Amino acid sequence: MDQISVWIADDQPVVRNGLRATLDHAKGIKVAGEAANGLEALRSVKISKPDIVLMDINMPRMNGLEATRQICGLDGDNKVKVVILTMYDQDEYVFEALRAGASAFILKDAPTEKLVEAVREVAAGEALLSPSITRRLISEFARRPVLSATTAPELANLTEREMDVFKLLVRGYRNEDIAEMLVLGASTVKSHVQHLYQKLGVRDRVQVVIYAYEHGLV
C-alpha cells in the first residue's frame, strides 16, 4: 500500500479540520475527503473506496452505526475499514459498532500519534481496542446466551494449522507473536490469517474474537 487513503465523517467542522490537519502531516496518509453525516459518508465511500473511514457515531440523516454497517457490508475485493470516533471509550454504542464491523475505536481527544497509529494499524489488517473496551465486550457477552460450538460449522473448514492460528488470535496475539510461537514465517502467518477471515466470514481480529465468544469458544 503506497498511501493510506482516509475519509473523515463527522458533523462538526472543527473536528473534521483538526483530523485533516493531523493526518495531512502524517507520512503515507492522505485525506481523500470529508462527510458531514452518515448518508453523505456512505454515498462518498461507495464512489471513492478509501482504505479507512474515521466515523463519528452521532450524526444527522444517518448515524455512524448504520453507516458503518452498510459500508462494511459493501461488496468488492477492497473492503473499506471503519475506525469509530468517540468522546468516551465507554460509549454505549461500542458493542453495536463492533458488531456492525468497526475495526477500532479512537478518542476524539487522543494524542496525534495515537490517531496516526490507529489508521496505520487498521490499514495493515490489525484491530485496536483499549483494555476498557475489551472488558466491555467481554461483559456484554457474559450477559448474552452463548451459542454452542456445534453451531459453528465454519470451524470444520479450518486446517489444523489455521485452528492453531485461530486460538492465538482469539487470545490477542499479533502476527509476529504467532509466527514466533508456531515457528512460522511472517508471510505464512499472514496467509493463514487471511484464509481464516475468508472461511469464518469475518473482517478482522475483532470479528474473530466476537465469533469465538458467540460460539462459546472462549
Position 2 confidence tier, pLDDT thresholds 50, 70, 90: confident
| CATH code, 27 | 3.40.50.2300
Could you tell me which of 185, 72, 52 has the C-alpha nearest to residue 115?
Answer: 52
Closest CA to 138 of 82, 214, 193: 214
User: Any idea what the CATH number is for the domain that residue 199 is in?
Assistant: 1.10.10.10
pLDDT for 146 beyond 60: no
Final residue belonging to a domain, choices 138, 166, 197: 138
- Residue where a domain terminates, one of 138, 155, 174: 138
Q: How confident is the model at residue 5 (pLDDT cuts 50, 70, 90)?
A: very high
Domain assignment of residue 20, given as a range: 4-138
pLDDT one-digit tens code per residue, 90-111: 556 777 787 788 888 888 888 8
DSSP 35: E
Q: Please state the domain count of the chain.
A: 2
